[in-house]
Amino acid sequence: QVTLVESGGGSVQPGDSLRLSCTASGLRFNDYAIAWFRQAPGKDREGVLCIGNRGDSRYYLDSVKGRFSVSRDNAKNTVYLQMTDLKREDTADYSCAAEGLFCSVRPETKRYDHWGQGTRVTVSS
């Protein structure tokens, strides 16, 4: 059984920072790219960014460039999403998903066989 578990969400104020974690089990973590998605209330799910098995990253949203970054610690089977300068529009359920070795050019939801349960990020004053 492959499991991905997100953690680190919470309620913060605009301008605050959060670090989300995605910890995997049941797969060869070193061989997987991990993508982050988010779904805001009443909106479709959208890809945010991705980190490949070699540590290369790909941004899917211009709105998070310069504010979000992704890293991985293969020894811990964990990918981190560091979010800074959070904005109200970042409010969403954030999920991680595993695909293959490399990040896809475009984040097509159906490509991903393994998903975490999500962690909620609420940015409000």
Give the pLDDT confidence of 1-59 residue by residue, as tens digits: 899 999 999 999 999 999 999 999 999 999 999 999 999 999 999 999 999 999 999 99
Quick check: helix, strand or coil at residue 42?
A: coil
Question: Under 8 Å CB-to-CB from 46, ≥6 apart: which residues?
Answer: 37, 38, 39, 60, 61, 107
The answer to whether 95 touches 38, Cβ cutoff 8 Å, is: yes
Mean pLDDT, the chain, whole residue set: 96
Quick check: helix, strand or coil at residue 109?
A: helix
Q: Tell me what pLDDT residue 83 has.
A: 98
Q: Tell me what pLDDT residue 100 has.
A: 85
- What percent of the chain is predicted at pLDDT more than 90? 93
Q: Tell me what pLDDT residue 8 has.
A: 98
Q: What would you measure as the largest C-alpha separation in the chain, in angstroms?
A: 41
Asked if residue 113 has pLDDT above 90, the reply is no
Burial of 8 (0-12, 13-18, 19+ CB in 10 A): middle
Query: Quick one: average pLDDT of 111-118?
Result: 93
